[in-house]
């Protein structure tokens, strides 16, 4: 697809001959758009009056919206004033594709912006590079007009403003930049795969107007061009773009905008904005928003007196990580045990891959209690945001408070889309693919220590722990109870309907009979593939010696999955622990 170009057009003001206004005077005109082009011109109306709008665009018979069309927005408020709509148009005689709208509108004194857009991606959903690529499709697109060149149609597209009430003395033109006057900071005209990070400091509590235009596809839960603000000290997210605080921005349905005042307390903040690999100021793949030059984010003061209390700064780096499981490659399984000597807040920074078809992470990190195996933190769709690049890239960047104890940090990948081997656009921070743990501002180095797996304190309540079971494993272990005891069984395996393939059972040594067995009916889904099953219940056992078994078949086991893995892949196997003594 050709790269979208933006051309600011300054047209000539036609002077009324002899100063006598006998006919409607042409005030401004935009015409002859190229493919993938937005033409724009600013118009400054000095006094109120009627203005005639005459516009010709292209509407293809298989589309509900225009492929080439015009609109006007208010320069100050950025609100739509007029847009060309099919129900207000008439087909141009002799053409099946060209439509014309003629209307008259009252304009108050003020500044306005006039746009004319033509997009190649709107023609048959194919990439067009010159008229040759589309010639054979003209029969389908333009009906009986197939023998005409596409450029002939574009040459006939225009928008013209004229008036018999206003003259050139009442009307001036200006360049359109999109920049909002008085902004505190702005990052606009953003292209594909952009990553913005900047800091700002407030000397007092104040309200800030946040104006942002971005992409949020209709059926997505989160935007793909995404902005958020966090407290620099606490890492708390204090503002972010959501569907509920935004409105349609015009053009394609996925164009959204946020325009609202947000209250901030005195302090330091970090502003982020990322874009994915398509549909941006550089290259819109559907109709652009009504305010295309402001694709990105702008901060403005609500009260001009607050300007002196706003300062920008360059954010400091995250420093050296306490744990570094990054630059993860295909089929990696990374782990690092660590110990906290007291409750501590840690900064976790993790980037991974989310499968929208399976609604699961396929490259992701999590942290478990080393003694119990309980997951105390993990990447989820809800606690992550878009990481730039491909839609499936997700990031967690926040602080997590964890109690005193021993833990294991894990990061696991599947067989594709990883560091230096991407099958789609990489995230904005490709080297961070994986999981890293950083100290927070109040971190005490003596409270944290990396340890080895052999250093992990054994939980005296665990009777049997046989996990990370692989293909064709036959695992056995025994335990003895001196009195009737309530035990907890946590087992994850593979099953389908009434049959289990990777499963566990317990045999009483005295009777050589099974006292418990993992079945399809007594298990529940374990996340991932439907065949992943989990037993997570308590049972009561009499005094005696028991043999615990876990068996696997020849496929779909720890770190060798042939379908989406369970949520807790480490515990593929069985763990039995005492609930009370």
Task: Dump the DSSP string for 397-420.
Answer: EEEEEE-SEEEEEEEE--SSSBTT
pLDDT band, residue 581 (cuts 50/70/90): low
pLDDT computed for residue 151 by the predictor: 74
Domain boundary among 455, 482, 516: 455
Q: Residues 146, 91: one domain? A: yes
Residue 265 shares a structural domain with residue 407:
no
Q: Is residue 21 part of a domain?
A: yes
Q: Which residues contact 468 (CB under 8 A, 6 or more apart)?
A: 558, 559, 570, 572, 573
**Would residue 179 count as lying in a domain?**
no
Distance CA 119, CA 104 (A): 27
Q: Say whether both 371 and 266 belong to one domain.
A: no
Domain termination site, one of 455, 475, 492: 455
DSSP assignment string, 415-484? SSSBTTB-SSPPPSSGGGBEEEEEE-TT--GGGEEE--GGGSPPPTTEEEEE-S--TT-EEEEEEEESS-
Kind of pairing, strands 5-8 and 37-45? parallel
Which pLDDT value is given to residue 123? 53
pLDDT value, residue 401: 92
Q: What CA–CA distance (Å, rounded) separates 354 from 364?
A: 8
Tell whether 327 and 279 lie within a shared domain: no
Place of tokens 């665009």: 57
Q: In what order do the strands lie in the sheet with 226-231?
A: 237-240, 226-231, 267-274, 195-202, 310-313
Kind of pairing between the strands at 267-274 and 226-231: antiparallel
Do 192 and 301 lie in one domain? The reply is yes
* Averaged pLDDT score across all residues of the chain: 88
- Of 2, 73, 521, 574, give the one whose Cα is nearest residue 294: 73
Shared-domain flag, residues 536 and 571: yes
CATH number of the domain encompassing residue 309? 2.60.120
Tokens representing 491? 């087992």
Q: In sequence order, what E strands does 75-225 have?
A: 80-83, 90-91, 98-107, 110-118, 158-163, 171-174, 185-187, 195-202, 206-215
119-137: b (≥16 Cβ within 10 Å) or e:
bbbbbbeeebeeeeebeee
Q: Given a cut of 80, is residue 187 above it in pLDDT?
A: yes
Per-residue pLDDT at 21 exceeds 80: no
Q: Are residues 11 and 154 in the same domain?
A: yes
Whether residues 397 and 520 share a domain: the answer is no
Q: Based on the domain organization, do 449 and 466 belong to the same domain?
A: no
168, 209: one domain: no
The 10s digit of each residue's pLDDT in 295-338 is: 999 999 999 999 999 999 998 878 899 999 999 999 899 999 99
% of the chain beyond a pLDDT of 90: 65
- Contact yes or no for 179/42 (Cβ under 8 A): no
Domain that holds residue 235: 185-313
Which string of DSSP letters, residue by residue, matches 103-115?
Answer: EEEEE-SEEEEEE
Residue 73 near residue 113 (C-beta atoms within 8 A): yes
What are the φ/ψ torsions at residue 576 (nearest 5 degrees)?
A: -125, 130
Tell me: do 380 and 516 sit in the same domain: no
Element spanning 547, H or E: strand 544-551
Query: What six digits make up the tokens of 140?
Result: 């389908």
CB 451 within 8 A of CB 337: yes
Quick check: 573 and 476 in contact, CB under 8 A? no
Provide CB contacts within 8 A for 546, sequence distance 6+.
478, 479, 480, 481, 506, 507, 508, 509, 515
Q: Which residues are CB-neighbours of 299 under 8 A, at least 6 positions away?
A: 183, 184, 185, 186, 200, 208, 209, 210, 211, 271
Which is nearest to 252 in space by CA: 275, 278, 221, 222? 278
In a domain, 562, yes or no: yes
* Cβ atoms within 10 Å of 356's Cβ, excluding its own: 12
Query: Quick check: pTM over 0.85?
Result: no
Residue among 161, 145, 150 at smallest CA distance from 102: 161
Q: How confident is the model at residue 136 (pLDDT cuts 50, 70, 90)?
A: very low
Give residue-wise pLDDT tens across range 524-568: 999 888 999 999 999 999 999 999 999 999 999 998 889 888 988
What is the token pair recorded at 533? 């099953």
Q: How far apart are the first and last CA of the chain?
A: 70
Whether 436 maps to a domain, the answer reads yes
Burial classification of residue 401, based on how many CB atoms lie within 10 Å of its CB (0-12 exposed, 13-18 middle, 19 or more buried):
exposed
Average pLDDT over residues 215-232: 87
Answer whether 44's CB lies under 8 Å from 166's CB.
no
Q: How does residue 360 score in pLDDT terms, banded at 50, 70 and 90?
A: confident
Helix (H, G, I), strand (E, B) or coil at 97: coil
Number of domains forming the structure of the chain = 4
Task: Give 412-433 pLDDT, tens digit per residue.
Answer: 998 899 999 999 989 988 999 9
Predicted pLDDT at 147: 40
Residue 249 lies in a domain: yes
Question: Which tokens in the block code for residue 70?
Answer: 């015009």
Can you tell me whether residue 7 is helix, strand or coil? strand
- C-alpha dihedral sign at 414, 416, 421, 423: negative
Whether residue 318 lies inside any domain: the answer is no
Residues 189 and 297 in one domain: yes
For the stretch 487-513, pLDDT in tens is 999 999 999 988 999 999 999 999 999
Confidence check: pLDDT of 127 > 60: no
- Identify whether 180 is part of a domain: no
Boundary (domain end) residue, out of 436, 455, 474: 455
2 or 560, greater pLDDT: 560
Is residue 368's pLDDT more than 60?
yes
* Beta-ladder partners of 292: none
384 assigned to some structural domain:
yes
**Segment 389-405 mean pLDDT:** 92
Mean pLDDT score, 34-44: 93
User: Is there a contact between 382 and 420 (Cβ–Cβ < 8 Å)?
Assistant: no
């Amino acid at each position: 697809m050709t790269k979208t170009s933006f051309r600011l057009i300054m047209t000539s003001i036609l002077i009324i001959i002899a100063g006598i206004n006998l006919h409607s005077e042409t005030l401004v005109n935009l015409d002859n758009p190229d493919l993938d082009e937005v033409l724009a011109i600013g118009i400054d109306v000095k006094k109120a009056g009627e203005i005639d709008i005459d516009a010709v665009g292209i509407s293809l018979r298989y589309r509900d919206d225009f492929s080439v069309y015009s609109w006007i927005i208010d320069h100050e408020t950025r609100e739509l004033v007029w847009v060309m709509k099919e129900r207000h148009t008439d087909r141009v005689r002799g053409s099946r594709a060209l439509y014309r709208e003629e209307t008259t509108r009252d304009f108050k004194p003020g500044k306005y912006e006039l746009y004319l857009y033509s997009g190649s991606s709107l023609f048959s959903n194919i990439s067009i590079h010159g008229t040759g690529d589309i010639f054979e499709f003209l029969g389908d697109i333009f009906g009986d007009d197939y023998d005409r060149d596409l450029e002939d149609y574009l040459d006939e597209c225009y928008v013209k403003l004229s008036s018999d009430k206003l003259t050139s003395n009442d009307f001036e033109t200006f360049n359109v930049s999109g920049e909002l006057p008085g902004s505190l900071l702005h990052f606009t005209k953003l292209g594909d795969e952009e990553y913005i990070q900047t800091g700002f400091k407030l000397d007092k509590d104040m309200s800030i107007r946040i104006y942002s235009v971005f992409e949020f596809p209709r059926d997505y839960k989160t935007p793909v061009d995404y902005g958020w603000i966090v407290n620099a000290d606490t890492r708390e997210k204090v503002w972010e773009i959501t569907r509920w605080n935004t409105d349609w921005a015009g053009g394609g349905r996925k164009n959204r905008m946020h325009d609202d005042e947000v209250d901030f307390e005195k302090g330091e903040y970090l502003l982020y904005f990322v874009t994915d690999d398509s549909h941006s100021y550089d290259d819109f793949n559907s109709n652009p928003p009504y305010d295309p030059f402001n694709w990105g984010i702008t901060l403005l003061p609500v009260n001009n007196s607050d300007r002196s209390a706003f300062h920008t700064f360059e954010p400091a780096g995250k420093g050296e990580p306490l744990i570094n499981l990054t630059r993860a490659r295909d089929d990696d399984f990374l782990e690092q045990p660590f110990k906290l000597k007291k409750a501590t807040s840690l900064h976790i920074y993790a980037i991974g891959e989310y499968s929208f078809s399976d609604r699961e992470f396929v490259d992701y990190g999590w942290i478990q209690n080393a003694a119990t195996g309980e997951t105390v933190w993990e990447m989820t769709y809800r606690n992550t945001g878009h990481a730039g690049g491909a839609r499936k890239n997700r990031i967690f960047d926040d602080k997590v408070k964890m109690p005193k104890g021993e833990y294991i940090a894990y990061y696991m990948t599947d067989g594709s889309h990883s560091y230096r081997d991407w099958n789609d656009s990489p995230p904005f921070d490709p080297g961070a693919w994986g999981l890293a743990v950083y100290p927070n501002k109040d971190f005490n180095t003596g409270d944290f220590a990396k340890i080895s797996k052999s250093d992990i304190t054994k939980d005296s309540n665990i009777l049997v722990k046989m996990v990370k079971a692989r293909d064709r494993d036959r695992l056995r272990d025994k335990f003895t109870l001196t009195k009737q005891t309530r035990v907890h069984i946590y087992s994850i395996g593979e099953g389908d309907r009434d049959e289990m393939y990777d499963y566990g059972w317990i045999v009483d040594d005295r009777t050589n009979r099974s006292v418990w067995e993992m079945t399809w009916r007594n298990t529940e889904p374990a996340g991932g593939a439907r065949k992943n099953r989990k037993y997570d219940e308590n049972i009561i056992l009499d005094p005696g010696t028991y043999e615990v078994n876990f068996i696997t078949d020849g496929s779909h086991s720890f770190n060798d999955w042939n379908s989406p893995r369970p949520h807790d892949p480490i515990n593929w196997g069985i763990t039995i622990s005492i609930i009370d003594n």
